[in-house]
Structure 1
Amino acid sequence: MRGSVWALVVVAGLGGGALLWSFAPSALPVSIEAPLTFPITAPQPPPAMRVGVLHAGRMLSRGLFAYRGGDAGERVFGMDAVIVEHPRGTLLFDAGFGRRVHEHAHTLPWLMRRLSRIEAETPVVDQLAGASIAIESIKGVVLTHAHWDHVSGLDDLRGVPVWINRAELDFIRGTDPAARLARELGDLDYHLYAFDGPPYWGFAASHDVFGDGSVVLVPAGGHTPGSVIAFIHAPDGRSYALIGDLAWQREGVDIPAERPWLARRLVDGDEAGVREVLVRVHLLQRAVPQLLVVPAHDRRVMERLPPARRDDA
């Protein structure tokens, strides 16, 4: 009996040590010899196109959960949406927190609720009203992926098409608890798109939304099966890569470093897939200096985007 107790103590100690080690700094291996060629057609965004950010809410948590080597200080994890006003239609990228976010938060894993604090700001739907942008004028909400904090605002945008690929729609309609809120929101107006375009900036396929290269979607599965990256090229020459939750904070791309084991187990569907795409984005950032890589929850980076227009602007 005594031997069994000591065995349990040893196993528990080893497990605890391994968990703590997973928070230690550790960069993902990057092959600097990897060829970086990105044959694409030069984007031709129309002069009237506008890009802006809508800050809809935030979660306060610790940097150590965002990437291996993160500090224990409190960080702001923004819950934002990006708006693109194009002559051929207005798009939202993700929906941020909605008006009923505190009800929606019940779908968040218990441990994440304990380790973070939700603070609602102005819901996207109310910011659109303040800018005199009618909901019915929106061409669609493009989801980077369908986790709760990206779909909460869809509750207020009923009737707006939700742009999604087949892999992510199957994820929503399956049984994975990470897509629970999307299922609970009911039968939304899903608009399926396919990656029917050529390779794009190191990714195997693409979907050119407007046909002018201004907004291009590429598959980046791993965090969820149908996660995507949205490349947006503005007429002022600035380019953005909206990477969703591939990394929660910019250090995850800059180092690059994955999330600690505990966070990965809670949120990543395919950890190896996330690592592979994360390294690819890290290399792309180095190869294209004018590209701003935008993690969905890094408010420091989101604040570098122009603010969305206001009605009195």
Structure 2
Amino acid sequence: MNKINFKPILALATAIIISSCGGAKTSNTETAQVEKTAIQVYAFNVGDILVKDISLFNPGVDVGQSMQFSNTAYLIRHPKGDLIWDTGLPDGLNQMADGSDSESFLMKMPVTLASQLEAIGVAPSEVEFLAVSHLHGDHIGNVNMFTNATVILQKEEYDALFNGETPVAEVADLKSNPSVQLAGDHDVFGDGSVVIKRAPGHTPGHQVLFLDLVETGPVVLSGDLYHFAKNREFRGVPAFNTSKEASLASMDSIEAFIKEKNATLWIQHDFKQQETIPHAPEVIK
């Protein structure tokens, strides 16, 4: 009886097993790379702002022309908690039929943030995290209603709001709340789905928000990095920004980030763009 040489057979079997395991490993890795945390986003109209001379935001451009601004806040619902991003003009403005009129702006609050949250079944006291792009009144008007939220701000902005010589009434109730005081970017939930990006210039601690949405795709919420599409086109820096140099540097860094992530920029004050974005009670995924 002839003896069978098993060495070539064993070598072939080993090669097949190794190849199969390697293929399975690659497949798992590829699967892990495409999986994203499913977050839900609600956009809220938190004020109408008529700008009486739009060149205030694009110096030297369209002098004397007026423009209607939107004002938008967002609730991000993540498996680890809810984050409110910006809170708009004060709900109390809703009681003023003629709005608040000044030399530069006419501001109105057609519907309250509280009523919009109630319509989707969310109580402000149950929202775990609060972040605002910056300290201006059209972004912090309803901060105080989020009584139990952890406050996430760049340290400069936090100090200006809570530790300044003049108390800011809109945020005073949250001074004792837990806080995360930043000096850069921050991955809110640790999975890359909701990331705060530092973008100083408009104010010293201005920030924007990146959302990696499963269906819509990557999105950056602008804060006041830009105020409308033409403002972005011209790289216009409002005269009241705290630093022109920092503003332009932030535009450069965020535009590079947008390109890297293949993201869409949602400009929170751009009325025309905001009309194309679903608002609550419709959910964005």
Same fold (TM over 0.5): yes
Secondary structure, aligned partner of 2:45: strand
- Size of the aligned set, in residue pairs, is 247
Match of 2:81 in 1: 89
Offset at 1:155? 3.4
Q: Out of 22, 44, 47, which is 1:54 matched to?
A: 44
Q: Structure 1 residues 176, 280: CA separation in 2 closer, same or farther (over 3 Å shift)?
A: farther
Q: CA deviation at 1:282?
A: 3.9
How far residue 191 of structure 1 moved from its aligned partner, in angstroms, is: 1.6
Following superposition, the deviation at residue 120 of structure 1 comes to 0.9
- Give the counterpart letter for 2:244 in structure 1: E
Question: Contact (CA 8 Å) 2:86, 2:140: kept in 1 or not?
Answer: yes
Q: C-alpha displacement at 1:79, in angstroms?
A: 2.0
Q: Which residue number in structure 1 is paired with residue 269 of structure 2? A: 297
Contact 1:99 1:156 in 2 (8 A): no
Distance 1:86 1:294 in 2: 20
Q: Does residue 229 of the first structure (1) align with residue 208 of the second (2)?
A: yes
1:148–1:181: 8 Å Cα contact kept in structure 2? no
Q: Evaluate the alpha carbon distance shift between residue 84 and residue 303 of structure 1 in structure 2; reply closer, same or farther with a 3 A threshold.
A: farther
Contact 2:93–2:108 under 8 Å retained in 1: no
Aligned amino acid, residue 113 of structure 2? V
Change beyond 3 A, Cα 1:298–1:44: farther
Change (3 A) 1:186 1:236: closer
Identical-pair percentage: 19
Q: Please state if 1:220 is matched with 2:199.
A: yes
Distance 1:166 1:89 in 2: 23
Q: Secondary structure at the match of 2:191?
A: coil
After superposition, give the CA deviation of every residue in 1:85-137 in whole Å (9 maximum; x if it has no partner). Answer: 11111111000122224899xxx9xxx92121111121212110111112232
Gaps of 5+ in 2: 1-31
Q: Does the 8 Å CA contact 1:63/1:71 hold for their aligned counterparts?
A: yes
The equivalent position to 2:228 in structure 1, one of 230, 249, 258, is 249
Alignment of 1:271 with 2:244, yes or no, is: yes
1 CA distance for matches of 2:281 and 2:171?
32
Contact 2:144 / 2:174 at 8 angstroms: preserved in 1?
no
State the 1:145 CA deviation.
0.8
Task: Determine the structure 2 residue equivalent to 1:148.
Answer: 137
The residue type equivalent to 1:304 in the other structure is T
TM-score after normalising by structure 2: 0.74
Rg larger for? 2
Q: 2:153 aligns with which of 164, 173, 178?
A: 164
Tell whether the 8 Å contact from 2:199 to 2:206 is kept in structure 1 after alignment.
Answer: yes
SS in 1 for 2:47: strand
Q: In the TM superposition, what is the alpha-carbon distance from 1:258 to its structure 2 partner?
A: 2.1
**SS class of match (1:114):** coil
Residue 45 (structure 1) aligned to one of 33, 36, 47: 36
Shift in Å, 1:295? 2.7
Kindly state the Cα deviation for residue 252 of structure 1 after the two structures are TM-superposed: 2.0
Assess if the C-alpha contact under 8 Å between 1:52 and 1:307 holds in 2: yes
Aligned-partner Cα distance in 1 for 2:173–2:63 = 36
1:121 to 110, 113, 130: 110
Give the distance between the partners of 1:300 and 1:43, measured in 2 at CA. Answer: 32
Question: Is the deviation greater in 186-195 or in 298-307?
Answer: 186-195
Distance in structure 1 (CA, Å) of the matches to 2:102 and 2:173: 20
Q: CA deviation at 1:206?
A: 2.4
Closer, same or farther: CA 239–103 of 1 in aligned 2, 3 Å: same
Could you tell me how far apart the structure 2 residues matched to 1:186 and 1:149 are?
18
Q: Compute the TM-score of the two structures, normalised by the length of structure 1.
A: 0.68
Over the aligned positions, Cα root-mean-square deviation in angstroms equals: 3.1
Measured after TM superposition, the shift of residue 181 of structure 1 is 4.5
Superposition deviation, residue 302 in structure 1: 2.8
Are 2:180 and 1:192 aligned? yes
Distance 1:58 1:301 in 2: 14
